Structures are given as C-alpha cells and as structure tokens.
C-alpha cells in the first residue's frame, strides 16, 4: 500500500534531514520534489496544487525559521496537511428505524460483492443482525458468489428470481422487517455512470428504500479515474460515503488521496486484502502514517484483537510467563500470527526500518510456513517433549517435512531461545529488571 509514494517521500525527507538549516531555496526544492512524487502517484493535480500551496504558506513563515529542528518541522507540516487533505473520519450512519439499509453501488468489477460480505462481517462484530441482498438480476453468478461469502460468516442472503431490482429490494426490506434484521446490505449490479437506463434504476431504488447509507464502492487501482466515476454517480444519486477497495494492491495511492477532496464525500471504509476480514474503518491519521512510513501499529493491534481467542490467549500467556511452553504451544502461537495476515501485510504496517522495505516478506512467510511444517511432522510426544529429539528423530522429521536437518536444528534452537527469554521475563515479577541483565 502506497509503496511507490512512500519510497519517494522517504528519500526526499532523508535528504532534508541532512540539513541543519533551511533556506527558502531548500524549501522550494523539497516542495517541488513532493509535488512530482504526488503527481506520479496519480493524485489529482488540483489537489496537489492546494496541498503544496498550504505547505508553502506555513513552511516559509516563522513556523519553520524559528524551529529548533527546521527539517523536522517541514516534515511535520507535510504530515498535518496530508491529514487535512485526507479529510475527517466519518462513521457509518446506523441510526433510525430498523432495519437500516446500506446500498452499495459502483462499476462492475469494483469489488462490491466482496465489499458487501466484508461490511456484513464488520457490522456483525459490532452487534448488528445483518442480512445481505442480491439486487443484481443481470449477472448469473451473483447469487452464488454472495451466498458463498455469506456462509463464511453465517449471514442470511435474500435473493429473488425473475424480478427487477426495485422489486427485489422492496421484497428484501419486507423480509428483513419480519426477520428482526437490524441492518440490510444491498449489493446492486455493477453499472457505468454513463449508462442512463441503469442509473435511472438506481434512482428508483433510492426512492423506494430511503437508504440510510448509499456507499459508492471504488477500486483504488483506477487512480484518478475513480474521481470521474464518483462524480458521475454523485450527479444522479445521493452518495453518502465511499468504500475504497483493493488498497493493498495500489502502490501509488492517488485515488485515496484525491477523491474525498475533489467530490466532498467522506471515505468511510477501505478494503485491505482478499480475505473477508480485510476491512478497516477509514482513519486519515493512520493512512497518513502509512504514506509517510510511520507504520500503523494500531492496525496491527486491531487485527490481533479480531483473531485472538481471549481465553486461549490468557492460558498461553500464563504458560509463556512461566516458561513452560513446548513445541505444540510454539506452533499454536505461529498459527495465531498467520490468522492476523501474511507477513507482507503485517510488515507493511510497521514503521521505518522495520517495514517490508527492509525485510524480505517472501522469506519471512516461507520461514513461518516451513517452521509449522517441521513441527507438524513431529509426533505428539516429540512436540510435547522436545528433549527427546535426538539425531535419528531429526532426520526422520526432515524427511517428512521436506527439509534439511539444519532446518530442524534451527527451529529447535529458536524454540529454546524463546523458552529461555520467556523464563527471564517471568522472573521480573520477583527479581525485577536485573534478572534480564545477568
């Protein structure tokens, strides 16, 4: 996410930090380089113009000239103005009479159906009783696709054969009221903003259901084209928010930075991966952190909270505190890490020199999978009693897991190192920090 823009800005700021004092010419060079980086990232040129102008007004004044660290102050100004450009966070509107309706609209292929399932999972976790609606009578596989996704999260799906979209929506609304559903998510057919007939159909749907939210689903990888699409939909129906999908595949970031500023509609949600739980509430600050290479530690914590079983984690934590873990526990912790996401997605959320730019995510994922394969090739007795792993057993495990004996030795060494570290941390309660320094 934002890899290209992040790399360019990182280099610009590295050069800036080398200067103890900044002249007007230095600031002009930085702003020129930032302008080029944003334009290359496919940010709308009017947005870039306003952004650079705002930075320039602050950077040439006393705010920078009187700062103890002028270079750092310029970076801070860029950060502040980036957050301003990205807009204020706005939550989904879930007030009013139930069932509240959320209408998802957008181009074909923008990721609406997957976005509908992700949104259903998110709202379900928030305590909502959700129903999904297939309001796409034109695509034969629409019902099948949404039903398969809905099964993963145990959410009901409403569909109707041989009905037009307005009829399907009206019937779904009646069904939701009778079923005690609190939120209805309607997945409409993909359509171009230039198709008058289909856009008139959306107008009709909006007049029937009086949707609580009309969310335009936009593919981040379309760049500035996303702005044109949004303007087209906005001219016909009352768009209340944006759901930007495929953010993980967009190395430039132009759509995310431009679209809110240009059309004046808040981004409410973003899709950050293919899995059904890869959804985030839009946060300008966290997005700015990622763009400027500051990471997103809050995002990592949220992913952990979503995937960790509280009771199970508490039991494991106590074992780790006492240093009484075995290879079975070790493998369980690695599986928990895998549930959060790929090493690539996690490292992308780490700041600076800990990020995916400095660590090979491919190697990290391979190593994690190989370690799990090795432990799973052991017998239950071996996993619970690692001290039994003699040379012959290690050869057998290497053969069974498609590894080398040295790989087995590495896993066991890493396990013992962690066990030793956990024992030392466990002593902190009684002996304090000095136990770690012995």
**For 355-377, what is the mean pLDDT?**
71
**For 195-200, what is the mean pLDDT?**
83
**For 333-344, what is the mean pLDDT?**
65
More confident residue, 179 or 434: 179
Question: Quick one: pLDDT band at residue 409, thresholds 50, 70, 90?
Answer: very high
Model pLDDT, residue 183:
92
Model pLDDT, residue 363:
66
List of domains in the chain = 3-86 (1.20.120.140), 100-294 (3.40.50.300), 302-437 (1.10.260.30)
Tens of pLDDT, residue by residue over 263-287, are 888 899 988 888 888 888 888 888 8
Tens of pLDDT, residue by residue over 34-82, are 899 888 888 888 888 998 998 888 877 665 656 557 777 788 888 888 8
Region for residue 40 given its phi and psi (left: phi exceeds 0; alpha: psi -120 to 50; beta: otherwise): alpha
Mean pLDDT comparison of 182-186, 295-299, 303-307, highest-scoring range:
182-186
* pTM over cut 0.85: no
* Burial class of 18 by CB neighbour count within 10 A (0 to 12, 13 to 18, 19+): exposed
| Residue 151, token pair as written in the block | 């099964």
Question: Quick one: pLDDT band at residue 250, thresholds 50, 70, 90?
Answer: low
How much is the mean pLDDT over the chain?
79
Model pLDDT, residue 432:
43
* Burial class of 111 by CB neighbour count within 10 A (0 to 12, 13 to 18, 19+): buried
Count of alpha carbons within 13 angstroms of residue 52, beta-carbon side:
20
What are the Cα distances from residue 84, in Å, to 33, 55, 226, 264?
20, 11, 20, 13
| Residue 166, token pair as written in the block | 């307005």
Question: Quick one: pLDDT band at residue 374, thresholds 50, 70, 90?
Answer: very high
Residues 250, 255: Cα–Cα separation, whole Å: 9
Model pLDDT, residue 437:
36
CA 181 to chain centre: 27
Tens of pLDDT, residue by residue over 100-120, are 999 999 888 888 899 999 999
Give yes or no for residue 197 having a pLDDT over 50.
Answer: yes
CB within 8 Å of 43: residues ≥ 6 apart: 51, 224, 253, 254, 257, 258
């Amino acid at each position: 996410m934002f890899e290209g823009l992040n790399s360019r800005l990182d280099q610009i700021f590295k050069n800036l930090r080398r200067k103890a004092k900044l002249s007007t010419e230095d600031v002009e060079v930085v702003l020129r380089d930032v302008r080029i980086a944003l334009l290359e990232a496919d940010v709308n040129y009017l947005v870039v113009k306003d952004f650079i102008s705002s930075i320039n007004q602050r950077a040439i004044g006393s705010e920078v000239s009187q700062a103890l660290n002028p270079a750092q102050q310029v970076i801070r100004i860029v950060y502040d103005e980036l957050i301003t450009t990205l807009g204020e966070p706005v939550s989904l509107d879930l007030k009013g009479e139930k069932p509240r309706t959320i209408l998802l609209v957008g181009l074909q292929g923008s990721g609406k159906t997957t976005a509908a399932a992700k949104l259903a999972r998110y709202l379900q976790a928030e305590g909502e009783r959700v129903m999904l609606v297939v309001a796409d009578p034109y695509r034969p596989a629409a019902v099948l696709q949404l039903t398969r996704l809905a099964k993963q999260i145990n959410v009901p799906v409403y569909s109707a054969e041989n009905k037009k979209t307005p009829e399907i929506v009206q019937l779904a609304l009646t069904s939701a009221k009778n079923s005690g559903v609190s939120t209805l998510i309607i997945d409409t057919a993909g359509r171009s903003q230039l198709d008058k007939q289909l856009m008139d159909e959306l107008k009709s749907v909006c007049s029937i259901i009086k949707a609580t939210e009309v969310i335009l689903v936009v593919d981040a990888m379309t760049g500035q084209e996303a702005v044109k699409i949004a303007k087209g939909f906005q001219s016909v129906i009352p768009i209340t928010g944006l759901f930007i999908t495929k953010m993980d595949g967009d190395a430039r970031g132009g759509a995310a930075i431009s679209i809110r500023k240009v059309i004046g509609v808040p981004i409410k949600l973003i899709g950050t991966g293919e899995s059904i739980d890869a959804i985030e509430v839009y946060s300008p600050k966290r997005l700015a952190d990622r763009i400027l290479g500051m990471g997103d530690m809050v995002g990592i914590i949220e992913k952990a909270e979503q995937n960790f079983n509280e009771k199970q984690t508490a039991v494991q934590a106590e074992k780790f505190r006492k240093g009484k873990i075995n290879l079975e526990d070790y493998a369980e912790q690695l599986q928990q890490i895998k549930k959060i996401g790929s090493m690539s997605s996690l490292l992308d959320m780490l700041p600076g020199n800990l990020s995916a730019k400095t660590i090979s995510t491919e190697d990290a994922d391979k190593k994690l999978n190989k370690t799990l394969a090795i432990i799973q090739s052991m017998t239950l007795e071996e996993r619970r009693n690692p001290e039994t792993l003699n040379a012959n057993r290690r050869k057998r495990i290497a053969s069974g897991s498609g590894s080398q004996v040295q790989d087995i030795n590495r896993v066991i060494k890493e396990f013992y190192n962690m066990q030793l570290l956990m024992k030392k941390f466990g002593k902190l309660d009684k002996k304090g920090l000095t136990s770690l320094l012995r």
